[in-house]
Amino acid sequence: MATDHESVQCRCTPVHETDWTERRRAPSMVIVDAVATAEGVDPMELTPLSGELDLEALDTLLLSSATNTCGLLGLHIAGWNVFVAGDGRIKVCEPSDAEPLVPVFEPVSAG
């Protein structure tokens, strides 16, 4: 199911951005690294995420989907808002009620 993820908005402050498709690692591991980077700690210092998130299911979802068919996946991990676009972009944001609503991701130009 394709979704126009550029129209999704949030109230949060972006802290770290990356892309799981540019790495030769499982998407879940790139997400864990992104959260650790936002937190300013080594990934091994994070509280184990197995109670919060099924990493294997996340990898299956992202790896079995054709580009852009996943739309946008929003997660709350270790106190952070994490957004994963179907094209591989990842954004880790600090939640804030004071921030105005803004698009989670800027549109990607074709080409």
Range(s) of the domain holding residue 34: 5-103
Number of domains in the chain: 1
- Indicate the range of 16-20, 25-29, 61-65 predicted with least confidence: 61-65
Q: What is the pLDDT of residue 4?
A: 47
Residue 111 in any domain: the answer is no
Domain-embedded: residue 110:
no
pLDDT score for 1: 33
pTM: 0.75
The residues facing 103 across adjacent strands are 9
| d(C-alpha 75, C-alpha 78), whole Å | 10
* Distance set, CA 31 to CA 9, 80, 84, 100, 110 (Å): 20, 11, 9, 25, 25
Q: For residue range 39-95, what is the model confidence (pLDDT) as tens digits? A: 999 988 888 776 778 889 888 888 876 554 557 888 888 888 899 887 888 999 987
